[in-house]
Amino acid sequence: MGKEKQIIIRNTPYKKGEIPKHLKQYTDKLAQASRECALSTEELEGMERVQAMNACVSQKMKEEGLKNE
């Protein structure tokens, strides 16, 4: 009796440090937003800063029209 053969399809991850082509258009604007938000949240610490950074970057990306909702 033979074993059944299986076909496995999976996505291969991008190489470390590689930016996927479909995301390259966002890198400069995301970097700028991150720098601005880091400066505006530098007085905060820990989870409070993380949440403030996330909200700030999200808002800046929405202002640029780069985030779909």
Q: Cα–Cα distance between 62 and 69 in angstroms, integer? A: 9
Residue 1 in domain: no
Residue 28 in domain: yes
Number of folded domains that form the chain: 1
Q: Six-digit token pair at 67?
A: 């985030």
Domain that holds residue 56: 23-63
Q: Cα–Cα distance between 56 and 62 in angstroms, integer? A: 10
pLDDT digits (tens, 9 = 90+) for 19-67: 888 888 889 999 999 999 999 999 999 999 999 999 999 999 998 876 5
Q: How many CB atoms lie within 10 A of CB 27?
A: 10
Helices (H), 1-69: 27-40, 46-63
Predicted confidence (pLDDT) at residue 68 exceeds the cutoff of 60: no
